[in-house]
Amino acid sequence: MALDYSHDPSRDDKNLIVHTEKPFNAEPNPKDLISNFITPEKYFFCRSHGNIPNLDEASHKITIEGINITTPKRFTIQELKTRFEKKSIVMAMQCAGNRRDGLHKVKHTEGVIWGPGAVANGIYSGCRLKDVLESIGITEQMGHTATLHVAFQSVEKCEEDECYGSSIPLSKAVDEFGDVLLAYEMNGAPLTRDHGYPIRIVVPGYIGARSVKFLKSIRIQDKESSAYYQQHDYKILPENVGSIDDAENYWSITPAIGEYNVQSFVCDPPSGLVDVPILANAQPVKVQGYALSGGGRSIQRVDVSGDDGNTWVHAELQSQPIAERTSAYTWSWTLWTAHVHVKAGVRLVSRAVDSAGNIQQEFPVWNFRGVLNGAWRTVKPTSVIEEQ
């Protein structure tokens, strides 16, 4: 039966490029995206797989059950707010499909054809999942059992499954420094309906797909989530897999993505090219963008080139101020600015290096689902200046 989207929130869409209305999938334009270090809600991409549920914070409960839990435990939002310490983290939320358009130019990919805006940097506040699990007897020690997973289920029925579901290793959930939150606020205000009201999981350092919105239940289990979004999506299929039929043979033998890879993008100028009048005065051009990496890895350096990667300058980095950090790891993105000499019609590219020395490569290895595109920016091979 078709899903009913008539109760979705009304939206002021003028700030976002809407890919699909039903379900609602939208991203900001690249310049707006980097106009703030903390992304305001109006420029925050939205990724939905179903209609947005209309939940009431006062009556909503989450259930926690599974291995090592004798009877299912229920928590109201009020209990989560009052019984557990509140923690805030600055965290980049990035969809695994961010920049899918780059891979889609190579060959057809399946999914929403995101540009570079399926990423945002938010302040998420809530209680730590670790504290809540500990209160019902799930200890950090149990996280040493590599085979245990924490599966999350949402309220809403989705296009591909009965609800949105996903899982993370228990080791991440109970890691003292892992900062997995049961978040009830974004940017200091209650979550909006589009972003998971009244409660969502946020898993810093991991692809957005693991940060389940409209959370209904948590289950400790000895295997990953059986949800479509853990099993048949968000996996890097090998390059030879080119169709849904081929993929069938690979889903069960391909691991689900957790942490994301090193990433950066030139957001300004938005076309990735500079027009001739600017060139005429032969001044270096100001170039700006974002950079981030998964797993808590920080950005060490961003190189920017105005001559297609022959020469590079080092960008100036704007990272989260050390005094404001609340985490041992880096979950925030880094914004950057560089001044480079450019040639007309030659693309501007950036390449980030993270704290593990991972560096973005020029060419992507295409994959059918178009996930984790961390290759250099491509623009249309033309000397005519146009928006991408």
49 versus 351: smaller Cβ distance to ligand MTE: 49
CA dist 314 → 71, 307, 326, 359 (Å) = 56, 14, 28, 14
Measure the CA dihedral 357/361/367/369, to 10°. 70
Rounded least distance, CB 195 to ligand MTE, Å: 4
Rounded least distance, CB 339 to Mo ion, Å: 34
Using rule CB under 6 A, residue 211 touches ligand MTE: yes
- Strands (DSSP E) found in the chain: 16-20, 25-28, 46-47, 61-66, 73-76, 86-94, 119-128, 149-154, 165-169, 181-186, 189-190, 200-202, 215-221, 263-268, 285-292, 299-305, 313-314, 316-318, 334-340, 349-354
Using rule CB under 5 A, residue 208 touches Mo ion: yes
Using rule CB under 6 A, residue 214 touches ligand MTE: yes
Site string for ligand MTE, 160-199 (x = CB under 6 A): ----x------------------------------x----
Using rule CB under 5 A, residue 202 touches Mo ion: no
Using rule CB under 6 A, residue 154 touches ligand MTE: yes
Site string for ligand MTE, 27-56 (x = CB under 6 A): -----------------xxxxxx-------
Q: What is residue 293's three-state secondary structure?
A: coil
Q: What is residue 217's three-state secondary structure?
A: strand
Q: Of residues 30, 169, 178, 208, which one binds ligand MTE by CB under 6 A?
A: 208
> What count of residues does the chain have?
388
Which residue in the shown chain puts its C-beta closest to ligand MTE? 208
Rounded least distance, CB 60 to ligand MTE, Å: 13
In angstroms, the CA 366 to CA 353 distance is 21
Rounded least distance, CB 373 to Mo ion, Å: 13
DSSP symbol at 158: B
Residue 372 falls in which region: left (phi positive, over 0), alpha (psi -120 to 50) or beta: left
- The interface region with ligand MTE, picked from 4-12, 58-66, 203-211, 283-291 by CB under 6 A, is 203-211
Using rule CB under 6 A, residue 11 touches ligand MTE: no
- Within residues 76-135, the interface with ligand MTE by CB under 6 A covers 93, 95
The H-or-E segment that residue 229 falls in is helix 228-231
At 65, list the tokens.
């059950």
Q: Of residues 80, 95, 163, 262, which one binds Mo ion by CB under 5 A?
A: 95
267 versus 379: smaller Cβ distance to ligand MTE: 267
Which residues are near ligand MTE by CB under 6 A? 44-49, 93, 95, 154, 156, 164, 195, 208-209, 211-214
